Chains A and B, each alone.
Chain A
Amino acid sequence: MSTVMHSPAAMNGDPLIIAGVEYHSRLLVGTGKYKDMEETRAATEASGAEIVTVAIRRTNIGQNADEPNLLDVISPQQYTLLPNTAGCYTAEDAIRTCRLARELLDGHELVKLEVLGDEKTLFPDIMQTLQATEVLVRDGFKIMVYTNDDPIVAKRFEELGCVAVMPLAAPIGSGLGIRNPYNIMTIVENATVPILVDAGVGTASDAALAMELGCDGVLMNTAIAGARDPVLMASAMKKGIEAGREAYRAGRIPRKRFASASSPIDGTFF
């Protein structure tokens, strides 16, 4: 076989399934903070991501009528768009945003729900997020929810009907990596819906660690867009995700305090 068409994950029949749809990439990427549309396009392509987040904002009225449109480079035909509610601090604003996104994207129901509590940390406001979840689930939305790394809260979102639960690794855009791996592991072990780390990863090893902990995927933006070379970092993240997933499936060796020789003791001639 001269050409490998699919990633090993896809070849091994290890798809990520969200709301009944199979994906072969476990890396989800945002489209914010890039220097221009071309860099957005190139980095998104290099990441191999199939699910891509977008924000919903006011159209500029009367200025730059011909400015490039994000959806010209991130085509809804090519990618599964995941509109987010970034910037919302109340359940009401998040619900409005999801409804506008659904209209904008012709009835598309998959959304990333985030309701923020504080500008300094961008930590989620769990009470508001729970309220929004109840309304949006009744309204037919398929919710991937941004939450903190609390296993009790994560389970609650699952019980309310979220199609994926996305605990943060660290504050949005911080690049601090996974600050609470034991909680992430507990959330994964308790879950029957996909668990994705959303926010806080800084580099490829952070993404690999999330996958080694058993997460079903990772969603990131700043770690790629803010890298010195975003396209190269997108490629690195893709590999980190794949390596971490394979390592998780392969089953790592237990940690031991002392050595264990790799070469046999028997048959030595000295």
Chain B
Amino acid sequence: MHIILNGDQREFPDSLSASQLLQDLGLTGKRLALEINREIVPRSTFDSHIIQPGDRIEIVHAIGGG
């Protein structure tokens, strides 16, 4: 399936959970926040949240800023 991940077009297998997506990206266990179609996906629901084709996904973290 086709998704938009941090602004880039990407292909992933169907029926992927948020946890599996993060694992595929090597981000498991990192301190990050996930937003799908402008809705926050709480960390506690990563296992059960299934990514849908066409989802717009944002993965963010904290960096230096003033």
Q: Which of B18-64 contact A (CB under 8 A)?
A: 25-27, 30-35, 38, 40, 42-43, 58-64
Interface size on A, residues (CB 8 A): 38
The answer to whether B32 touches A59, judged by C-beta atoms less than 8 angstroms apart, is: yes
Interface centre among A69, A199, A222 (most CB of B within 10 A): A69
The reply to whether A32 and B62 form a contact with Cβ atoms under 8 Å apart is no
**A38-72: which residues lie under 8 A (CB-CB) from chain B?**
40, 53-59, 61-62, 65, 69-71
How far does the Cβ of A173 sit from chain B's closest Cβ, in whole Å? 8
Q: Confirm or deny: A10 has a beta carbon within 8 angstroms of a beta carbon on chain B.
A: no
| Contact assessment for B65 and A53 in the assembled complex, using a CB-CB cutoff below 8 Å | yes
Among A99-107, A205-213, A236-244, A253-261, the stretch that binds chain B is A99-107
Interface locus among A19-27, A79-87, A125-133, A177-185: A79-87
A-B contact pairs, 17 of them (CB 8 A): A31-B63, A54-B62, A55-B64, A55-B66, A57-B60, A57-B63, A58-B6, A58-B59, A59-B6, A59-B27, A69-B62, A84-B66, A101-B33, A104-B31, A104-B60, A104-B61, A221-B65
Interface residues of B (CB under 8 A from A): 5-8, 25-27, 30-35, 38, 40, 42-43, 58-66
The 5 closest A-B pairs by CB, nearest first: A55-B65, A30-B66, A221-B66, A31-B64, A104-B33
